[in-house]
Amino acid sequence: MMMWYGSNGGWGGWLLMTIAMVLFWALIITAVVLIVRYLISQRPTDISAGSALRPEEVPADRYARGEIDDDEYQRRLALLHQNR
């Protein structure tokens, strides 16, 4: 039987190398996933991150994003000022 580059002809070396390669890539993929999850969790969100918006800023922010129209914005501001 022909030997390959000094191999003993057994499967032990190939099996060990395959297992090591699978574990290596599993470690790399796990590290990337954990880093991405950490970076996403550190990104601030709108109101849920605890950014203290004044009551007048909430309708202004929604108006700027196009969620409410001009009439709705004016109505909400009037209600805020009326209830102070």
Q: Please list, in sequence order, all residues whose beta carbon lies within 8 angstroms of the beta carbon of residue 62, skipping any fewer than 6 positions away.
A: 68, 73
Helix residue spans in 43-69 (DSSP H):
57-65
Give the model's pLDDT for residue 69. 92
The span from the CA of 16 to the CA of 24, in Å, is: 12
Give the model's pLDDT for residue 18. 92
Low-confidence ranges of the chain (pLDDT < 50): 1
The span from the CA of 59 to the CA of 76, in Å, is: 7
